[in-house]
Homo-oligomer: A and B are copies of this chain.
Amino acid sequence: MNDNKRQKVVILGSGWAGYSFARTLDPAKFDRIVISPRGYFVFTPLLASTSVGTLEFRAVLEPVRRLPGGVRFYQGWADDVDFSQKVIRVEANAVDGLPSELQSSTVPVKKEAVKKEAAKKGEVFDVEYDKLVIAVGAYSQTFGIPGVREHAHFLRDVGDARRIRLRVLSLFEQCSYPTPADSSDTHVAKGSLSEADKRSLLHFVIVGGGPTGIEFAAELHDLIHEDLKKLYPELVPLVRITVYDIAPKVLPMFDQALAQYAMDTFARQGIQVRTEHHLERVRIADGLLGSAHGGMSIKIKEYSDEVNAGLVVWSTGLMQNPFVEHLVGKEFAVAQDKELQKPEDARPHRLVKDAKTGGILTDAYLRARITDSETSQPHDAAAAAGGTSSKPVMPDVFVIGDCAVNEGDRSLPKTAQVAAQQAGYLAKQLNKATQNGSLDAVDVGSAWKPFKFRNWGTLTYLGGWKAIHQSSADELRGWVAWVVWRGAYLTRSMSLRNKMMVPVYWFVSWVFGRDISRF
């Protein structure tokens, strides 16, 4: 590999967009440099399975450094980009003993805390790029609801899944201590839980009826009814699982019949679904229930009384990454590039922010749009109509995934599927472009076709070996969809190692039960 001849492509982020891009980009042609606060990609569709022990955590992780063909990796936060000098400022984030709990890219509060810590202690360094791919994703949006950030669990990183798993198993363990009436051979001295307390702690609340929330509810139901039932038989009758959503129906991406099938399945399993319910607050419950056991009281607008719960999982809403907010807010002089030789390019510019979502606007080739900073004209009114406008772009800066808004189709959802397709499109275009010989041919030319999203369909697991699947071509439900669900996940974005291990774990969990060691 001729390091001096290959262009340096710096990729910010190791999620669906960043990792899929890095995986597809040809290392023989490009020097891949990944910068991310975490050293691995998370295969998110199976994250809920790890949170209940069906799968090992590692089965859904792909280490960035193991990308075939060699990759440079810096574990850290991209702090700033100097678009004129084509340099990224990075804050190191490999500090020792920092558990994944604090490395989650999904919880701004914690992230900021970590960032500050790293800034105080760690290294800051600059990395140059020839091409930059911004794929930093989005954060969980809590809409300012009090207590969600502090007391609810997210389910976006493997650290989240581990925390949820520990919490669920801990709750069963805490409720398994004797109560005064339990038996004659144990005498409770102090601080014991009443049956009502146990019902409170064994109430599992999920906020958000999208696929993540629904799948977590389903996996949790399986864990409780297939495994914990044998180990804590006396506790299972006390368990409740409730999904709250503000919308009139859950799973909005499925048509009415499939969503109804999901609701019927849940109803048979005893999982309560409460649509048009609004969470207003989460707080630690009063008394021993809260102080000793972490029980919570949640306020639902539609109910006069608070509802107690032992676990609240928050799986609704995304907001922009603060790094993206920083980037779209700053002015910079456009780098001297031969594609930008119009007079106005000498003036300071800004990235164009999508007014609705706050994301970075791109043209149909996923290049970052820029606007003249002085006149503050967004330059994208025409472009919004679609297609390849002649408005200025940064030819060497691409934006993909949750933080990007493609002016060709602004309605694309923030999903793994969109991110992965954008990543694959961009990497393949770049791979092709350099086959023409000159590295300058990497720049978008007539050879590029605009990015176009293809809906591969949506799959959601419903528990009890049932799933639903919807695509433009077909609809499936029940165990057939379950087979498709399991099969589909084996063919996607996984290393051979995990393609082998995931079925092994499925088999072992099926034969021996899910692992229930709490560590």
Binding site for B on A (CB under 8 A): 8, 38-40, 56-58, 61-63, 65-66, 73-76, 87, 89, 92, 94-100, 103, 121-128, 158-159, 162-163, 166-167, 170-171, 173-174, 176-178, 185-193, 231, 291-294, 495-497, 500-501, 504, 508, 511-513, 515-519
Are A125 and B517 in contact (CB-based, < 8 A)?
A: no
Are A517 and B170 in contact (CB-based, < 8 A)?
A: no
Are B123 and A173 in contact (CB-based, < 8 A)?
A: no
Q: Please, how many angstroms separate the alpha-carbon atoms of A511 and B500 in the complex?
A: 11
Using Cβ atoms and an 8 Å threshold, which residues of chain B touch A128? 185-186
Who on chain B is nearest to A8 by CB? B185
Who on chain B is nearest to A53 by CB? B58
Which of B74, B167, B504, B519 meets A96, CB within 8 Å?
B167
23 contacts between A and B (CB under 8 A): A39-B173, A40-B517, A56-B56, A61-B515, A63-B516, A66-B231, A66-B513, A66-B516, A73-B176, A75-B176, A94-B176, A95-B170, A95-B294, A96-B167, A97-B167, A123-B177, A123-B192, A124-B191, A125-B188, A125-B189, A128-B185, A128-B186, A497-B508
Are B191 and A122 in contact (CB-based, < 8 A)?
A: yes
With known contacts A122-B191, A508-B501, A516–B65 Cβ distance under 8 A: yes
With known contacts A94-B170, A231-B65, A178–B517 Cβ distance under 8 A: no
Are B178 and A125 in contact (CB-based, < 8 A)?
A: yes
With known contacts A94-B170, A186-B128, A519-B158, A123–B39 Cβ distance under 8 A: no
Using Cβ atoms and an 8 Å threshold, which residues of chain B touch A127? 178, 185-186
Are A92 and B518 in contact (CB-based, < 8 A)?
A: no
With known contacts A74-B177, A96-B174, A125-B178, A518–B231 Cβ distance under 8 A: no
Q: Please, how many angstroms separate the alpha-carbon atoms of A123 and B508 in the complex?
A: 35
Are A98 and B40 in contact (CB-based, < 8 A)?
A: no
Using Cβ atoms and an 8 Å threshold, which residues of chain B touch A166? 96-97, 99
Using Cβ atoms and an 8 Å threshold, which residues of chain B touch A63? 515-517
Which of the listed residues A39, A95, A125, A497 has the most CB atoms from chain B within 10 Å of its own CB?
A: A125
With known contacts A92-B177, A126-B187, A170-B94, A121–B516 Cβ distance under 8 A: no
Using Cβ atoms and an 8 Å threshold, which residues of chain B touch A89? 189
Q: Please, how many angstroms separate the alpha-carbon atoms of A97 and B167 in the complex?
A: 6
Q: Please, how many angstroms separate the alpha-carbon atoms of A260 and B173 in the complex?
A: 49
Who on chain B is nearest to A120 by CB? B292
